[in-house]
Amino acid sequence: VALLFYSSVLSGEAWVRALRAESPELDIRLLPDIGDPDEIDCVLSWRPPPGTFARLKNLRLVYGTGAGVDQLLADPELPPDVPIVRVVDDAQTDDMVAFVLAIVLGWHRKLDVIRAQQAAKLWSRPPFRSVRDVRVGVMGLGALGRATAERLAMVGFDVAGWNRSPRDIPGVEVHHGPDGLGAFLARTECLIVLLPLTDATRDILNADLFARLPPGAYLVSVGRGPHLVEADLLRALDQGQLSGATLDVFREEPLPQDHLFWTHPKITVTPHVASLASPESVAKQIVENLRRLYAGEPLLNQIDRVAGY
Ligand code: NDP
């Protein structure tokens, strides 16, 4: 098996180390010396540079190094019939949950207000609300969203979720489909977005959606940047329809230096750090999937190319 690591943004060394530790016999190729392209069976990639796939005539598997595959599917040269697999990883899930908890708890307990008060040596208690009275909502109840909703509920928040298909999650009020969206939004004071980026979810965070949230709601956007209509967010913040937002993902990454979000007083910018699949944690499932590929067994975490996730 020859596996090519190909990415325009990630260095491959940690992946090579982790994969060699898991499977010493694996033939791993790295740029610029990929050897004979006809020998490459599998590409492991994040944001492949243009021209990647056109060179690889015998490709049998494309492996994304993260949970989202939108950057792979956007490649016009992606061969139509090759299976695409993504990462689903418990450690990555734990890290996403921890990140969202940090943001939601900080928002709920008004840590930014308290820090500003400390700078002014001001002893003043913000209005108190019990965690049990605070209604948070998670859009997208997949591997990451479900765990996030469950653990927000364990902390004590009043949690709802919205998903394409129904879900049964103890302690979480689940809404689904376009018909369920209105009731979900109407009760959600803090909206956490963990949807994949697809044709159906692009631009979903727009003026119409913000208007259906209670006035003063807070947004936590951790799925993908193109979910958000940026001008609509700025207007909703100016008008007070939203009270603030933490954004971890952006239409253009890195966020351009002159972007308004950097200095907006109601926006917290985090540089796509919510969670990252680590090579050490993921190497085992890659090797297992290669074994399955050659044994003709069903692959783990294969995405549905029509649905786009
Ligand atoms: P999954 O594929 O496991 O889950 C996606 C969920 O979204 C599914 O439950 C699916 O419902 C639901 N969904 C999809 N389309 C729609 C729709 N149109 N309307 C309502 N619900 C929909 O993905 P993960 O949970 O693993 O990851 C989610 C996303 O998080 C990734 O795609 C990635 O973009 C982002 N991410 C961000 C990171 C960061 O650091 N900021 C790190 C990792 C991931 P159903 O199953 O019913 O189809």
Residue-wise pLDDT tens digits, 277-308: 999 999 999 999 999 999 999 999 999 999 99
Q: Which atom of ligand 1 is nearest to the CA of 167?
A: 47
- List, in sequence order, every beta strand (DSSP E) within the chain: 2-7, 27-30, 42-46, 61-64, 84-85, 135-139, 158-163, 173-176, 190-193, 217-221, 242-247, 267-269
Name which residue sits closest to atom 23 of ligand 1, judged by CA: 142
Contact residues of ligand 1, CB 6 A cut-off? 66-68, 88, 96, 140-145, 163-165, 194-198, 200-201, 222-224, 248-249, 272, 274-275, 309
Dihedral (CA of 282, 287, 289, 290) sign:
positive
In degrees, rounded to 5, the angle at the alpha carbon of residue 18 between the alpha carbons of residues 68 and 282 is: 30
pLDDT in tens, 190-231: 999 999 999 999 999 999 999 999 999 999 999 999 999 999
Q: Give the amino acid at 282.
A: V
> What's the 162 CA to ligand 1 centre distance in angstroms?
11
Q: What is the mean pLDDT of residues 150-177?
A: 98
pLDDT at 292: 96
pLDDT in tens, 14-52: 999 999 999 999 999 987 788 999 999 999 998 888 888
Average pLDDT, the chain: 95
DSSP state of 134: -
pLDDT of residue 283: 95
Mutate to test the pocket of ligand 1, among 146, 164, 247, 270 (most ligand atoms within 8 A of CB): 164
Helix, strand, or coil (residue 194): coil
Of all protein residues, the one whose alpha carbon is nearest to atom 43 of ligand 1 is 67
pLDDT at residue 187 in the model? 98
Q: What's the angle, vertex CA 284, arms to CA 283 and CA 287, rounded to 5?
A: 85
Give the CA distances from residue 173 to residues 8, 141, 149, 161, in Å, rounded to whole numbers and listed in that order.
41, 12, 10, 6
pLDDT at 8 over 80: no
State in Å: Cα 197 to ligand 1 middle. 8
Question: Residue 22: which residues within 8 A CB-CB, separation 6 or more?
Answer: 283, 284, 286, 287
Coil, strand, or helix at residue 162? strand
Look at 124 and 55; give whichever has higher pLDDT.
Answer: 124
pLDDT of residue 107: 98
Q: How far is CA 79 from CA 10, 73, 108, 173, 221, in A?
A: 22, 10, 46, 40, 31
CA 223 to centroid of ligand 1, rounded, Å:
7
Q: Is 175 in a helix, a strand, or coil? A: strand
Shortest-distance Cα residue to atom 17 of ligand 1: 164
pLDDT digit string, tens, across residues 98-119 = 999 999 999 999 999 999 999 9
Q: List the catalytic residues.
A: 224, 272
Q: CA 33 to CA 226: how far, in whole Å?
A: 34
Q: Which atom of ligand 1 is nearest to the CA of 88?
A: 26
Per-residue model confidence (pLDDT) at position 119: 98
